Amino acid sequence: MLKVLFYLTLSALSLGQFAAIGRTGESNFYIFDIFVLAFAVHGLIYFLSVKKSFKLPKTSYLFLLFTLSATISLVLALPNFEGVEIAVGTLYLIRWISYLLSSLVVFNMVDKKILTWEMFENVVIYSGLFLAVVGFIQILVLPDFTKLDPSLGWDPHKNRLASTFFDPNFVGAYFVICLTILLDKLFSKKDFKPAFFLVILVALFLTFSRSGWGMFGVVILVYGIFKSRSLLLVSLFVAFLAYFAVPRIQTRISGLTDPSDSASFRLVSWKNTWEIVEDYPLFGVGFNTFRYVQKDYGFLDVDTFLTHSGAGSDSSLLFVLATTGIFGLVFYLSGLVFPAISAFSKKKGEWLVVISLVLGFLLESQFINSLFYPQIMFVFLTTLFLVSNV
């Protein structure tokens, strides 16, 4: 039953925005959140009542301390908010706890031989293939997101693969996770499927996500240094060829210096978030009350208050700092860095998966709040716990 629930949970996560079941005010409700919570609770009860054991990998302690910091920050912020705002912040905290707990349940499933690392990585790869295929269809059927109702809060992407996530940057990051797992299969000679790699790579390219491309560049650099220098040469050649052959790539790269480009809006987001951090450095404004605080500061107006990005910052680490303070940031950042250090020192199993993904996300998550995106949270946290505990 637990294994079936695991597969159903990842399948529901792959549905992305098609799993939405309603919206109340500023909060969206998704089927996959229900599955994750059910999987986490059922798994915890199963291991405690049947197996009489629920192990915690060492790397999870730092995330548990972050959870404590997030809870304290929300409690301290209660006098500053009204009932609905407190309820929304509490729901975000419950969501984070359920995703953290679900990753720990998967860890215990592998520990008890109910699941294997190979089974986990295969289902992640197949979810990436599903997202890629749906993305190809989306480009043909809905290439222009400006045709969607503006009240839905989606960014006006044009001719970019966004798949079920409805966001090319987040799905791009998910594709990089899948490609990293496939790269590790290639170099460890474990059932590498070139066709799968090619399909997901093309999908990543069609997102035209600079943050996704940059993250994949970090992954290639890590594997090139530790596994194959020829990979670096081939990748550089392909990148230069694509740059000169596809004009839109040149447009995306040159857009970094264009004031009207989306990159400039990220600078505004960082500046706004830092202004909030300066006023609440120790414990933050409360996890996650960020949308309401941005409104109070005048950073969100009637048109932008209900957008999907309104609840976060364009930097995951700045988001953590603003909502949980310096204590939360130290615990969270340590939770990312220590597994990479541990993997590097042991050099066992899929150690390069952890190192490349941690370094990749440390770069990529400074441009979008990817580390708190549900699908990425589940897969990335689970990967950290499984691999770094080898």
Q: Kindly report, residue by residue over 20-33, the tens digit of the pLDDT.
A: 887 655 667 899 99
Residue type at position 6 = F
Average pLDDT over residues 79-100: 90
Using CA atoms, how far apart are residues 120 and 379, in angstroms rounded to an integer? Answer: 9
pLDDT digits (tens, 9 = 90+) for 232-263: 888 888 887 877 777 777 777 765 554 445 66
Report d(CA 370, CA 376) in Å as an integer: 7
* Torsion angles phi and psi, residue 142, rounded to 5: -135, 75
Average pLDDT over residues 5-17: 96
CA atoms of 357 and 350, how far apart (whole Å): 11
What is the average pLDDT across 44-58?
Answer: 91
Is residue 68 scored above 60 in pLDDT?
yes
| Whether this model's pTM surpasses 0.75 | yes
In sequence order, what are the residues at sequence separation of 6 or more whose Cβ sits closer than 8 angstroms to the Cβ of residue 383? 177, 353, 354, 357
Residue 28: its H or E element: strand 27-30
Are the CB atoms for 374 and 380 separated by under 8 Å?
no
Pick from 50-64, 121-135, 261-275 the range whose average pLDDT is largest: 121-135
**Main-chain dihedrals φ then ψ at residue 160, nearest 5 degrees:** -130, 140
Is the predicted pLDDT of residue 309 greater than 80, yes or no? Answer: no
- State the CB neighbour count (10 A cutoff) for residue 317: 19
Q: Mean pLDDT over all residues of the chain?
A: 89
Specify the pLDDT at position 252. 73
pLDDT tens-place string over residues 160-184: 999 999 999 999 999 999 999 999 9
pLDDT greater at residue 268 or residue 254: 268
What type of residue is 319? Answer: F
Q: With 60 as the cut, is the pLDDT of residue 390 above it? A: no
The H or E element that residue 22 is part of is strand 20-24
**Listed range (76-90, 101-115, 320-334) with the worst mean pLDDT:** 76-90
Please state the rounded mean pLDDT for residues 55-59. Answer: 92
pLDDT at 287 over 80: yes
- At 182-224, the pLDDT tens digits run 999 998 878 889 999 999 999 999 999 999 999 999 999 999 9
Q: Where are the beta strands (DSSP E) in the chain?
A: 20-24, 27-30
Q: What pLDDT, on a 0 to 100 scale, did the predictor assign at position 339? A: 92
CB atoms within 10 A of CB 199: 18
Write out pLDDT tens, residues 336-380. Answer: 999 999 899 888 888 999 999 999 999 999 999 999 999 999 999
Q: Report the C-alpha gap between 255 and 285 in whole angstroms.
A: 33
Beta-bridge partners for 27? 24
**How far apart, in whole angstroms, are the C-alpha atoms of residue 357 and residue 367?**
15
Q: Which of 101, 3, 11, 118 is nearest to 60 (CA)?
A: 101
3 state DSSP class of 21: strand
∠ Cα 95 98 101 (to 5°): 150
For residue 332 the two structure tokens come to 């969270």
The pLDDT of residue 388: 78
Measured CA to CA in angstroms, residue 95 lies from 40, 63, 155, 266 at distances of: 11, 14, 24, 26
User: Considering only CA atoms, which of 360, 353, 373 is closest in space to residue 118?
Assistant: 353
CA separation for the pair 47, 2 (Å, rounded): 10
Amino acid identity, position 380:
F
Q: Are 357 and 219 in contact (CB under 8 A)?
A: yes
State the pLDDT at residue 295: 83
Tokens of 241: 């060829």
Confidence band (pLDDT; 50, 70, 90) for 302? low
Which residues are CB-contacts of 280 (< 8 A; sequence separation ≥ 6)? 322, 325
